[in-house]
């Protein structure tokens, strides 16, 4: 199962061929081809930018709403330019709710959970991808299949266990709950499958233990997958509402997503404040994403093939 899936049958003539780009020395058709390619790139670029702008329309609405009055947010027809710009929404929100505390809590949980998920997930994934033992595949299936049960179905049994452990209303409850999920294990296992076994074989012959292979060979090779996992885990934890809602009761433990829901009242909601807060809470994600996506650079991974 854990064989390399690098295509042996593909069109490679072997990496031994000289790398020369296409027709460096030729003229005429090559120059025209280059021009066509340039035009194609420009067009592609323009299309992507236009598409990105269209994709961001709801986000733009969120931004516009964040500087409105509550009663101007949900209007028919939609109001794209506010009648009056309430920039002070962005100063008020820090005093209306203890937003800084909430941001701190969210950050603590997201960083801790992401760290643990990446660490234990990638560690366990090595066990599933690169070691063999009886029952391994069945265990893996058990991991994956728990993802198939909606959380709404088992949240009460889970809560009862947590209550028995005396962990309800502590940060630890959420960390334990979310740091050991199946998602990271599955993601990393799939990535490890693409790393050729020859590499670890060679390391084994050099006398490296399995743990050494994981730490010194496999982990450095899987930086893009680790970045992807970290990014998605961070965002999911940051945006999670129901988990913190059920497990955290004390206000000083609340996360941003809980804090913002305070503006949703029984009879009436303060939508401008919700949108202002949403904009503020998205900024850390922006930073994390911009930092993390730099690992997705073509060519960062060397094949490791001899």
CA separation for the pair 201, 209 (Å, rounded): 11
Using the minimum distance from each CB to other proteins, give the nearer residue, 28 or 156.
156
Q: Which is nearer to other proteins, 67 or 128 (CB)?
A: 128
To other proteins, the closest distance from the beta carbon of 104 in angstroms equals: 18
Residue nearer to other proteins on the CB measure, 104 or 262: 262
Helix H, strand E, coil C: the string for the chain is CCCCCCCCCCCCCCCCCCCCCCCCCCCCHHHHHHHHHHHHHHHHHHHHHHHHHHHCHHHHHHHHHCCCCHHHCCCCCCCCCCCCCCCCHHHHHHHHCCHHHHHHHHHHHHHHHHHHHHHHHHHHHHHHHHCCCCCHHHHHHHHHHHCCCCHHHHHHHHHHHHHHCCCCCCHHHHHHHHHCCHHHHHHHHHHHHCCCHHHHHHHHHCCCCHHHHHHHHHHHHCHHHHHHHHHHHHHHHHHCCHHHHHHCCCHHHCCHHHHHHCCECCCCECHHHHHHHHHHHHHHHHHHHHHHHHHCCCCCCCCCCC
Min dist. Cβ of residue 231 to other proteins (A): 6
| CB nearer other proteins, residue 150 or residue 207 | 150
> Which lies closer to other proteins via its Cβ, residue 65 or residue 114?
65
Q: How far apart are CA 273 and CA 109, in angstroms?
A: 24
How many CA atoms are closer than 13 Å to the CA of 213, on its beta-carbon side? 22
Least distance CB 151 / other proteins (angstroms): 8
Which one, 92 or 104, has the nearer CB to other proteins? Answer: 92
Nearer to other proteins, 101 or 262 (CB): 262
The CB-of-237 to other proteins minimum distance in angstroms stands at 12
Q: Which is nearer to other proteins, 31 or 163 (CB)?
A: 163
Cβ-based nearer residue to other proteins, 31 or 139 = 139
Report the nearest approach of other proteins to the CB of residue 281 (Å): 9
CB of 91 to other proteins, least distance (A): 16
Shortest CB 283 distance to other proteins, Å: 10
Neighbours of 212 (CB within 10 A): 14
Distance of CA 218 to the CA centre of its chain: 21
In the complex, what is the shortest distance from the CB of residue 150 to other proteins, in angstroms, rounded to a whole number? 5
- In the bound complex, what is the minimum distance in angstroms from residue 27's beta carbon to other proteins? 18
Q: Which of 109, 113, 118, 138 is nearest to 185 (CA)?
A: 118
Q: How many CA atoms lie within 13 A of 127 on its CB side?
A: 15
């Amino acid at each position: 199962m854990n064989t390399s899936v690098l295509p042996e049958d593909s069109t490679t003539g072997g990496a031994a061929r000289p790398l020369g780009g296409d027709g460096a020395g030729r003229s005429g058709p090559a120059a025209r081809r280059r021009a066509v390619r340039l035009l194609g790139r420009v067009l592609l670029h323009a299309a992507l930018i236009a598409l990105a702008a269209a994709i961001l329309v709801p986000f733009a609405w969120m931004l516009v709403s964040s500087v409105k009055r509550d009663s101007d947010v949900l209007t028919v027809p939609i109001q794209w330019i506010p009648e009056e710009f309430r920039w002070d929404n962005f100063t008020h929100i820090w005093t209306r709710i203890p937003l800084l505390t909430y941001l701190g809590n969210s950050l603590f949980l997201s960083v801790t959970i992401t760290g643990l998920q990446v660490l234990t997930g990638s560690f366990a994934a090595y066990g599933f991808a690169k070691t063999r033992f009886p029952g391994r595949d069945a265990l893996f299936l058990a991991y994956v299949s728990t993802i198939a049960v909606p959380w709404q179905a088992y949240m009460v049994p889970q809560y009862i266990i947590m209550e028995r452990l005396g962990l309800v209303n502590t940060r630890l409850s959420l960390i334990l709950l979310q740091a050991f999920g199946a998602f990271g294990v599955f993601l990393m296992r799939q990535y490890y499958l693409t790393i050729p076994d020859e590499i670890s074989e060679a390391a084994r012959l050099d006398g490296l233990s399995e743990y050494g292979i994981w730490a010194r060979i496999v982990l450095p090779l899987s930086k893009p997958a680790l970045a992807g996992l970290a990014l998605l885990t961070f965002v999911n934890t940051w945006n999670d509402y129901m988990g913190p809602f059920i497990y955290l009761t004390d206000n000083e433990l609340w996360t941003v997503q809980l804090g913002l829901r305070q503006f949703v009242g029984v009879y009436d909601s303060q939508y401008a404040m919700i949108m202002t807060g949403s904009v503020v809470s998205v900024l850390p994600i922006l930073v994390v994403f911009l930092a993390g996506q730099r690992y997705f650079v073509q060519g960062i991974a060397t094949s490791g093939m001899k």
